[in-house]
Structure 1
Amino acid sequence: MNLSSLGLFRSIRQQEQQFAVIGLGRFGRAVCSSLHNLGYEVLGTDIDEKLVSRSLTDHIVSHAVELNSTDPLALKEAGIFEFDTVIIAIGNYLQESIITTLNLKEAGVPHVVAKASSEVHGKLLKRVGADHVVFPEQEAGCALARSLTKPSILDRFDIDSDHSIVEVLVPEEFHGKTIMELEMRSRYGLNIVAVGQNDKFEINPDPNRRLFKGLAMVVIGSNRDIDRLPV
């Protein structure tokens, strides 16, 4: 999920955190653009000089450099090993992504996120040390299915495969009721962590706060319980 679109989280970030993105294809560009728009410092890299130049021209990165990520010396000289978080967005090139992941973890990079093109690829990335593996195509398909079947859910942040934080419109059934009256935890197994509209949210809202249609509420819980919410 694109975290930048979840209203509650737009302003919750570590001000000094910096990211490096290796691979400036469609997925890598999307990651760079989202992080850059959130105000983060982003270093983009690719073996293709044209993609590097394009990322600078389009202003989706703070800095960009052409390099071969399978070469540990090139990564070191570019300062990649100094980043706390590096995203490897070259999932369609299995060998290169695995070697790059290995290079980063052996150099001590704390958090490496790697794109995988298949389940086997994902397992191999985990084997060589990837801290988090993403499957963009699979996740996009799941997101589309959810948006079609649950149009009231504005956005979603997956904590793991079974639990999520979602921003959802207050359903008709909840209109005019207080949070206490809804008994969300006992009835749905969910917790309301924020209520608001647009970019303004009240975190940990008062139990006596009354909900109305048009407002959004942010809830946390299991996906199975979230799916039980009225549309």
Structure 2
Amino acid sequence: MRRLALRFARLYFHLLAHRPPRDWTVPVADGRYRPAEPAPDERPLTLLLLGDSLARSLGALRPEQTLGARLAQGLADRTRRPVDLRVRARVGATTGAVGRQLPRSARLVPGIAVVIVGGNDVLLPTPLGRAGRRFAHLARTLREAGWQLVVVPCPNPGYGPGFRPHARWIGHHRSRRLARLQTRTADRVGAHLAPTSGPEFRDRAAQLLGPDGIHPSPYGYATHAARMLPTLLAAATHLPTPAPEPAPH
């Protein structure tokens, strides 16, 4: 069923984009990221990425170029704590599909959860109110489980020159509405808001976007990570202070 859904999503994407990606694989970046100057007796914190192709980093060529790896290493260096990165995001995911990413994260020690989703919702003929409600449920679930939640409001497909004109027009208007719904939810549940992509991705597409003119290039993911990192550092200050490792007997 999942393979069928992914095949349908790729076929649908051909209707929306001028140059759909030829390669949909993404390098795996999961693992432990260590600070350049570690502090003594610091327990690792967990960084969880949920969402769609942007959270998964479609367009990155190597693990260290992904958004998750850049955020994890930046977080490790600035907090001087090891960071365990887990990327559960999937290419083509809608808000409803992100809810199915949660069970695989249930056993993780809560830390910082980053959610980037909505771009696929706004390009599908589905009600945005339903996507907003599903996002609210997802946000509440993460917060009640003890995660510090970082929300990146729905990116605007209208800034992606690789989309066909009708997709850019529809995506521009619908993404703004969904981003407002997500922002209201973030305020209600006490989540942290990180910057989303802006018109600079249209104006500097040759640098910030990959060959499809939609997904970020490795440099684009580096730009995203630099803009998001201050929000993650603010979220980290709300995490419980890790207890020191017990001394060996």
With the shorter chain as reference, the TM-score category is 0.3 to 0.5
Bigger relative contact order (CA 8 A; separation at least 6): 2
TM-score (normalizing by structure 2): 0.37
TM-score (normalizing by structure 1): 0.39
Q: Which structure has more strand as a fraction of its residues?
A: 1
Q: Which structure has more helix as a fraction of its residues?
A: 2
The structure with the largest alpha-carbon Rg is 1
